[in-house]
Amino acid sequence: MTRRRRVAPLPDRDGVSAARVRLHGGCVYDELTRRFGGEAGAKVLSGEVLSSDGTVIAADTVLPEGEVVYLYRELPDEVEVPFDLPVLHRDADILVVDKPHFLATMPRGSHVVQTALVRLRRELDLPELSPAHRLDRLTAGVLLFTVRPEIRGVYQTLFARGEVRKVYLARAGVDPAVDFPLTLRSRIIKERSRLQAFEVPGEPNAETFAEHLGDGLYRLTPRTGQTHQLRVHMSSLGLPILGDPLYPEVIDVAPDDFSTPLQLLSRTLEFDDPLTGERRRFVSGRVLDGASPTSA
């Protein structure tokens, strides 16, 4: 059975999607004002907030818990990320880019316009572009988007099922007592209230194959896709990835400080294309500090 795609009642505006807010229930005006301040309430009064069926929300509209409304957010002031976003491949179905460090994949929190998704929608005039997977803001390398919404699901499913071979390069310290290659398995969880993901006892949900290529250069092949998995696993060895402001300790870094990039690179993506059946392989042209471009 094909799942029907939900269409937002507000179109994207200059590459930025309308915010989708799930309600706790009750008067919509009161809730939006309480959660997001007077600007959100003002949008209700000016008829700028719509329900999922396109109905304009009024000041006295009451909706049950779990319903959603849409509105355009006020864009935050953002520091421009001064790095290019090269296209590795483009066709009618997919777009593959070489994401720089410090650029988020898609809007979240204070990063909206300065994200790969919004920049590409604007620069390439691709309003329905969508990420098939994500890279952390601080991680560079190969990132795949779908061009048409009707095929988004089949590519996202490849990543969800672990059918994409991903290889990363990382730079870290060297400990002769750690015997490579090795496979790291643990249970990693990420709580919304904490910046760091962390390991807990229990059934492993994260697996990484790690190889030391010499001189502090590592090839990491994740077999699962937990948040910050590679960063957590390397830190657990006592070999945190160089330039990491979260592991093992949180370091406060100014938004305009691009001087110390995380030494983690999504080097290759490889998979069987779900539409054509052909084997696809995309390789980043970026290098880490002191790393050979042919290391993976």
Higher per-residue confidence, 64 vs 289: 64
pLDDT higher than 90, residue 213: yes
pLDDT of amino acid 11: 79
pLDDT of amino acid 278: 95
pLDDT higher than 90, residue 5: no
Which residues touch 293 (CB under 8 Å, ≥6 apart)? 285, 287
Distance CA 206, CA 248 (A): 18
Mean pLDDT of 46-73: 91
Distance CA 175, CA 159 (A): 33
pLDDT higher than 50, residue 1: no
pLDDT higher than 50, residue 187: yes
Which residues touch 133 (CB under 8 Å, ≥6 apart)? 143, 144, 156, 159, 164, 225
* Assigned architecture for domain 12-71: Roll (3.10)
- Give the percent of the chain with pLDDT over 70: 95
pLDDT of amino acid 98: 98
Q: Give me the residue label for tokens 């969800």.
A: 160
Backbone angles phi, psi at 117, to 5 degrees: -60, -50
Helix (H, G, I), strand (E, B) or coil at 150: helix
Domain ranges of the chain: 12-71, 87-283
Distance CA 143, CA 120 (A): 12
With CA atoms as reference, report the closest residue to 133 among 121, 116, 150: 116
6 pLDDT band, cuts 50/70/90, is low
Mean pLDDT of 2-12: 65
pLDDT of amino acid 294: 56
pLDDT higher than 80, residue 295: no
Identify the CATH class of 87-283: alpha beta
Tokens read off for 75: 């864009």
pLDDT of amino acid 7: 67
Distance CA 152, CA 179 (A): 41
pLDDT digits over 89-143, tens only? 999 999 999 999 999 999 887 788 899 999 999 999 999 999 999 999 999 999 9
With CA atoms as reference, report the closest residue to 147 among 132, 166, 136, 162: 132
| Maximal C-alpha separation, the chain | 67
Helix (H, G, I), strand (E, B) or coil at 283: strand
- Beta-sheet pairing, 94-99 with 140-146: antiparallel
**H-state helical runs in 2-145:** 28-36, 38-45, 116-124
With CA atoms as reference, report the closest residue to 63 among 29, 25, 19, 30: 25
pLDDT higher than 50, residue 2: no
CA distances from 107 to 16, 220, 226, 280, 293 (A): 8, 27, 20, 27, 30
- Judged by average pLDDT, the poorest of 70-74, 92-96, 148-152, 176-180 is 70-74
Whether 87-283 and 12-71 are alike in CATH topology: the answer is no
pLDDT of amino acid 293: 52
Helix (H, G, I), strand (E, B) or coil at 108: strand
296 pLDDT band, cuts 50/70/90, is low
- Contact yes or no for 70/50 (Cβ under 8 A): yes
Distance CA 277, CA 282 (A): 16
Mean pLDDT of 245-266: 96
Long-range contacts of 3-7 (CB under 8 A, 24+ apart): 3/153, 5/149, 5/150, 6/52
pLDDT digits over 60-83, tens only? 999 999 999 998 887 778 899 999
Mean pLDDT of 254-281: 96
pLDDT higher than 70, residue 3: no
Q: How many CB atoms lie within 10 A of CB 144?
A: 23
